[in-house]
Structure 1
Amino acid sequence: MTAYAMAHLRTTSSHGDVFEYIERIQDTMDPYGGRFVVHGPEVEVLEGEWPGTLVILEFPDLEAARDWYASPAYQEILPLRTRHIEGDTLIFEGVGRGYDARVTAAALRAAAGVRVPR
């Protein structure tokens, strides 16, 4: 199952360390099949607040994403970003191509004992 690493970067920085981090990150991802899906776009906030920017990386599976994050190569460059940018980073699995939210809703209703309204 495809997995993703997501960073919500609440602050930005023009520090040279950050530029070096960006220059070097792809080389840390390549051995794990990682690629950028989203990298710092302008976001349109439809609900709530969203300070900062967003980065989403894609990996073949959760193990590859975890191995990339824990790798010596990535851990070596990580402080180049974290010393200058405040944010949160998550790793999570996606859903398969055939995913249907209605099936999930039905399972949640059944587990909660809530009937479908008529």
Structure 2
Amino acid sequence: MTTYIVFIRESTQDAAELERYSASVKPSFDGHPVSFLALYGKHETLEGAPVEGVVIISFPTMAEAKTWYDSPAYQDVAQHRFKGATYRVVMVEGV
């Protein structure tokens, strides 16, 4: 079943680290069946605290999403995201 990973950037602590993440993350997707649905486009918070940005990506299955997220290639580059900002990341199956 299609699975979505939603990245919600709540606050930035180090813009340089986020830039390193952005410049390095693309190769982590090589060989993974990913589709990009939203990449920091215009957004409006309807409920809850305001957020800085949202990314939504999809994979054919939850197993494939976890394989990418847990991969050494992504976890290495994710360290820059962890240092650069506070995110909430959710994985959810579609219908």
Q: Distance in 2 between matches of 1:12 and 1:35?
A: 25
Report runs of 4+ in structure 1 exceeding 4 Å deviation: none
Change (3 A) 1:14 1:35: farther
Structure 1 spans left out of the alignment, 5+ residues: 96-118
Structure 2 spans left out of the alignment, 5+ residues: none
Specify which structure has the higher proportion of strand: 2
User: What's the counterpart of residue 86 of structure 2?
Assistant: 86
Deviation per CA, 1:13-51: give whole Å up to 9, x if none.
Answer: 663332221122221123221132111122123444432
Higher CA-based Rg: 1
Q: How is 1:14-53 mapped onto 2 (pairs within 5 angstroms)?
A: 15-53=15-53
What is the percent sequence identity of the aligned residues? Answer: 28
Q: TM-score, with normalisation over the residues of structure 1?
A: 0.70
Count the aligned residue pairs: 95
Task: Give the structure, 1 or 2, with the largest relative contact order (CA under 8 Å, sep 6 or more).
Answer: 2
Q: TM-score, with normalisation over the residues of structure 2?
A: 0.85
Would the aligned equivalents of 1:5 and 1:91 in 2 still touch at CA under 8 Å?
yes
